Amino acid sequence: MAEMWISMGPQHPMTHGLWTLRVKVDGETVIDTEPDLGYIHRAVEKIAELRDFTKFTTYCDRLCYASANTWSHAYIYAVENLLEVEVPERAEYIRLVAVEIQRIASHLMWLGAYCPDVGNLTAFVWCLREREMMLDLLQELGGSRLHYNFPRVGGVKRDLPIGFAQRCRTKINLFLNRIQEYEAMLDESTVFLVRTQGVGYAKPEEMVNHGVTGPNVRAGGINYDVRWAHPYSVYDEVDWEPSVEKPSIKGADCYDRYRVRVEEMQQSARMVLDALDKMPGGADTHHQHGDEAILAKAPLRAPEGTSGFHHFEDSRGESMFYIVGGGEQRGKFPYRNSIRSPMFITIPYASKCMIGYKVADIPAIMGSFDPCIGETDR
């Protein structure tokens, strides 16, 4: 049969965002791919040069609506590295709770969107049901929905609300019970297994060479998690371990990438419970701590020639911020703010994992990598 190029996107359910995948096919077999990004580029890094260190946090929330808290926290840590700010321990525990709840919500959004790609609509409704519980908790912390604007340079916006710890424990324990229903439904589904097992192999050494990180590389058996390899915040004080799969000799398939995220959600849930138990001053207390317990004073001017850096375990991989101080000439504004998106690295590699498979496998393969185009284009 004759070879031809077809376009999937930019308005296509498979893309999970606004971008185009050009696919070269021979009949129904994929023989080449070309990802086309940049449809929603917003010049976020340039905007950072026109906002002071405190006012850019809200833009970070919008880098990825499904995982807003992880991006705003990653930025705040880089600023604190630049300004040499020491964060109160209680604030760090509150941050960890917020970020890990966000990680659960992000993975639920992924799983809920992914299952219809492979023919399961029930899981979509179930995942959004549990995601609502997580969003309610995050809304309590930040006061808004999806874009929370919660972290601050030196700490967090506010202390835990009255009764938050009790409601959080109840919802997290309920989630840990319900996620077993997900596994029972999907791991015993012939349709789900046929669509995911042995499909979209990604070799561990190739992922490392391409810079793929996060759940995708851990699905390939690579035990690299920034929270574990380079601990920040209080991740070295709570009980957890990275979720790592043992793939076949051919590499990680779609099923491995599904399994690693399910395990990671359970690890995050246990981490939240442990952090609440170990929180300095107690998680069930409220307004018994002064502002100094959750927010340290921070200078808002960075000397010229100084820089701040932080790499963060985002829901989709290793995100990074590199910020250069503006000095006296630019005052509170940074001279440069550079952002490393894990999906900007992952999507070109993921598109090559489709070669040799059928057109019908494309949604299953691409969706298994959990693309987010907002952070990719920036």
Provide the residue-wise pLDDT of the chain in tens; the chain has 378 residues: 578 998 887 777 777 778 888 988 888 898 989 888 888 888 888 888 888 888 888 888 888 888 889 999 999 999 888 888 888 999 999 999 999 999 999 999 999 888 888 888 888 899 999 999 999 999 998 888 888 888 888 888 888 888 899 999 999 999 999 999 888 889 888 998 999 988 889 999 999 999 999 899 999 989 999 999 999 889 999 988 999 888 888 888 999 999 999 999 999 999 999 999 998 888 787 656 667 777 788 777 777 778 888 899 899 999 999 988 876 666 678 888 889 899 988 888 988 888 888 888 888 999 899 888 888 887
Residue 1 pLDDT? 59
Q: What is the CA radius of gyration of the chain?
A: 21
Enter the pTM of the model: 0.92
Non-local (6+) Cβ contacts of 212 within 8 A are 202, 317, 342, 345, 346, 349
CA end-to-end span of the chain: 40
Q: Write out the two tokens for 91.
A: 């604030």
DSSP conformation class of 232? -
- State the pLDDT at residue 133: 93
pLDDT score for 146? 82
Angle at CA of residue 13, ends 9 and 17, nearest 5°: 65
The residue whose two tokens read 């319900």 is 178
Query: Do the strands 3-8 and 20-26 form a parallel or antiparallel pair, or are they unpaired?
Result: antiparallel
**Contacts (Cβ under 8 Å, ≥6 apart) of 266:** 176, 179
Contact 266, 242 (CB under 8 A): no
**Type and span of the H or E element at 6:** strand 3-8
Q: What was the pLDDT predicted at 281? A: 83
The length of the chain, given as a count of residues: 378
Interhelix angle 89-117/68-83, rounded to 10 degrees, is 150
Closest by CA to 302, choosing from 94, 48, 96, 58, is 48
SS3 (DSSP) at 251: strand
**Backbone region of residue 350 per phi and psi (left: phi > 0; alpha: psi in -120 to 50; beta: other values):** alpha
The confidence score (pLDDT) of residue 329 equals 64
Is the separation of the CB atoms in 286 and 141 below 8 Å? no
Q: How many CA atoms lie within 13 A of 4 on its CB side?
A: 7
Q: What CA–CA distance (Å, rounded) separates 70 from 147?
A: 11
Tokens matching residue 308: 């701040």
Do 138 and 102 meet the contact criterion of CB atoms below 8 Å apart?
A: yes
Q: For residue 327, what pLDDT is reported?
A: 66
Query: What's the angle, vertex CA 11, arms to CA 134 and CA 213, rounded to 5?
Result: 50
- Measuring CA to CA, how many Å separate 216 from each of 191, 225, 238, 257? 22, 11, 24, 6
- What is the C-alpha to C-alpha distance for residues 374 and 17, in angstroms, rounded to an integer? 8
- In single-letter form, the type of residue at position 329 comes to Q
Walk me through the domains of the chain, giving residue ranges and CATH numbers.
42-343 (1.10.645.10)
